[in-house]
Amino acid sequence: MKLEQNYSLKQYNTFRLQVKTRWFMEYDSEEELLKILQDEYFQENCSLHIGTGSNLLFLNDFNGIILHSAIKGISLERETDEFVFLRIGASELWDNVVAYAVKKGWGGIENLSLIPGETGAAAVQNIGAYGVEIKDVVECIETYNQLTFEKKLFSKEACKYGYRKSIFKDEHSDPHIITYVNIRLAKQPSFLLEYGDLKKYLVSEREPTLADVREAVIAVRKSKLPDPAELGNAGSFFMNPIVLYSKFEDLKNKFGEFPHYKVSEIEFKIPAAWLIEQCGLKGKWHGEVGISEKQALIIVNKGGATGHEIALFAESVRNIVNDKFGIELVPEVKYIG
């Protein structure tokens, strides 16, 4: 187990903010986690379990205990003629899992290539890209209840997955710490290539392989998203809003045709990037904070911004979009502090 005091979180948040935590604890096994959860000092202090911090915005130093898993590993639990079943340690980097699956020839997650973060967090967030979400392959999630210390397995249905939503994000249910994620992958992959510019990047004439698709996804992402190693960011800052039919019609009358995705007969998802771009905010800066020139949904830190400055900037973006379209953007990024 690792225990550090006044520990810098610069490597644990992709905005690259210079924040510290009073305590940083990292456990290697479920047994160690259980000991921490049952510790009186731990229970008396506020705590937060993090992955790599690629979806977090620290507003201040963290005056409590940051908990981090070091449980890694990908094991093949069983297989059938059609599927393989993998058990993955929560702190395994998600993109390593995708690379491993692609190398083995197992399909289902190749469209989720290059998404930053750990596998446990991926299951919390229900990460998604190019028409695929992790929920599509989840079999069950292994967790510990932070209050009762019991181990509990959540089936895919019990995870209550939705767009960037799961029971693990629900403030009204008991906090659960994910230790392992179990997924099912196909031995005969079928590809989903209709989203984004994927087809444009599939250069070969022949039938694409898993490796081709992964390569195309990586190429599209690199062309469209700023790299947090160069420019601090947390990916999409806001969720894509879902509006009702009446609002959708109202917007069409005012602004003409615009990109959208039909969620149901009465609900339409609108790209938040489009809304922000229409407000003329793409590439705009205020001091050290700005909107990426590559992608209007990404708020970036040139290097010297504080969490507060980023939050204030995000608030001004929300206000401008709300004034123009009457739509309240909801942050996808989690504010801490």
The residues near 266 (Cβ < 8 Å, ≥ 6 apart) are: 244, 245
Q: CA neighbours within 13 Å on the CB side: how many for 112?
A: 27
Q: What is the 3-state secondary structure (H, E, C) of 26-57?
A: EECCHHHHHHHHHCHHHHHCCEEEECCCCCEE
Size of site (CB under 6 A) for ligand FAD? 33
The active-site residue out of 69, 236, 292, 318 is 236
Enter the DSSP assignment of 109: S
**CB nearer ligand FAD, residue 53 or residue 241:** 53
Q: How far apart are CA 31 and CA 70, in angstroms?
A: 12
Active site residue 139: no
Q: Contacting ligand FAD (CB under 6 A), which of 17, 19, 140, 177? A: 177
Q: 310: part of which helix (H) or strand (E)?
A: helix 307-325
- Supply the angle between the helices 210-224 and 94-104 in degrees, to the nearest 10: 150
Active site residue 332: yes
Query: Are residues 112 and 196 in contact, defined by beta-carbon separation less than 8 angstroms?
Result: no
The active-site residue out of 54, 91, 164, 292 is 164
| Residues between 34 and 73 that touch ligand FAD (CB under 6 A) | 48-56, 69
Query: What are 151's two structure tokens?
Result: 């181990």
**CB nearer ligand FAD, residue 55 or residue 251:** 55
Q: How far apart are CA 143 and CA 33, in angstroms?
A: 11
**CB nearer ligand FAD, residue 20 or residue 49:** 49
| Residues between 265 and 324 that touch ligand FAD (CB under 6 A) | none
Q: How far is the CB of 325 from ligand FAD (least distance, A)?
A: 23
Q: How far apart are CA 88 and CA 315, in angstroms?
A: 37
Query: Are residues 336 and 310 in contact, defined by beta-carbon separation less than 8 angstroms?
Result: no
CA 13 and chain centroid, separation: 13
Q: Which residue is nearest to ligand FAD (CB)?
A: 51
Q: Contacting ligand FAD (CB under 6 A), which of 17, 37, 129, 183? A: 129
Query: Are residues 161 and 124 in contact, defined by beta-carbon separation less than 8 angstroms?
Result: no
**CB nearer ligand FAD, residue 187 or residue 221:** 221
| 168 is a contact residue toward ligand FAD (CB under 6 A) | yes
Q: How far is the CB of 189 from ligand FAD (least distance, A)?
A: 20
Answer positive or negative: Cα dihedral of 300, 303, 305, 307: positive
Q: Contacting ligand FAD (CB under 6 A), which of 98, 109, 178, 299? A: 178
Active site residue 155: no
Q: Contacting ligand FAD (CB under 6 A), which of 36, 66, 213, 234? A: 234
**CB nearer ligand FAD, residue 301 or residue 306:** 301
Catalytic residue numbers, as ranges = 164, 236, 332
Q: Which residues of the shown chain bind ligand FAD in the complex (CB under 6 A)?
A: 14, 48-56, 69, 90, 115-118, 120-122, 124-125, 127-129, 168, 177-178, 225, 228, 233-235, 334
